Amino acid sequence: MQKEDCLLDRCFLCKHSLPAWKSLIELKKTTFSFKKGKKIFQEGEPVKGIFFIYEGSVKVTMNWGEQKELILRFAKAGDVLGHRGFGGDPFYPISATALEDCKVCFIDNSFLEASLIANPALSNQLMQVFAQELQKAEKRMRDLVHMEVKGRIVLALFEIIDAFGTDENGYISLQISRQDIASYAGTTYETVFKFFTELTGKGILSTSGKSIKINDPKALQSFIKY
């Protein structure tokens, strides 16, 4: 975790602030680097401010008991992190872990609050973020409850591709473990594994190490049943 410079145009806060504020923001914000696997913040920690991802990807998780976790969402460059610290309770209800080496910039709570009051456009922009995430969260809630496991795993794959895209050979740009896919789909490692073997056997999916490639999206779709 070390300080670095942060580019203005990749930072949510700067992008949606008045030009006059930008130099002030630049003074106030701190940029950190996190190695893959490191925790950016953790469930139960006091909320000190808000993060904006400048580079890399992150998983946002919530724990159940000691060993089980649910991945709530994936976040990537340009996304906001830690804004759940808002409403009420000043402790993070969630954890954020780097999935790749990351650079994030951090803004202190008091400065953020001042910015929000001074800058209604920023405030509205952040509200949009909340609104969209709320919609996504509720849709996902329904999916997790009513869909069967295979459909949930397929959805997980589609959403990961949606967020991170694929490389020139069609492989998902993010190296993601089966355990993480399971945690996102709300199932176990073994179930994901068996389903993947089924899919690769049918030629719908290809894997090479931790890289995953979807060959036949239509066939995948068919596992989503209403």
Partner DNA sequence: CGATAGCTTGATACAGATCAAGCAGTGTGG
Partner DNA sequence: CCACACTGCTTGATCTGTATCAAGCTATCG
CB of 184 to DNA, least distance (A): 12
140 contacts: CB under 8 Å, gap ≥ 6:
none
- Enumerate long-range contacts of 162-170, CB under 8 Å, 24 or more apart: 163/57, 163/74, 163/76, 164/57, 164/74, 164/76, 166/213, 169/213, 170/213, 170/214, 170/215
User: How far is residue 18's CA from residue 165's CA, in Å, rounded to a whole number?
Assistant: 31
197 binds DNA (CB under 7 A): yes
222 binds DNA (CB under 7 A): no
Which of the choices DNA, its own copies, none does residue 94 contact, using the CB cut-off of 5 to 8 A by kind?
its own copies
202 binds its own copies (CB under 8 A): no
- Binding its own copies (rule: CB under 8 A), the pick from 128, 197, 221, 222 is 128
How far lies 163's CA from each of 19, 37, 77, 158, 199, in Å? Answer: 29, 19, 10, 9, 22
149 binds DNA (CB under 7 A): yes
- Binding DNA (rule: CB under 7 A), the pick from 22, 123, 193, 206 is 193
**Largest separation between any pair of C-alpha atoms in the chain:** 58
191 binds DNA (CB under 7 A): yes
50 binds its own copies (CB under 8 A): no
Residue ranges binding its own copies (CB under 8 A): 62, 64-65, 68, 70, 72, 83-84, 86-89, 93-94, 116-117, 120, 123-124, 126-135, 137-142, 144-147, 186, 226
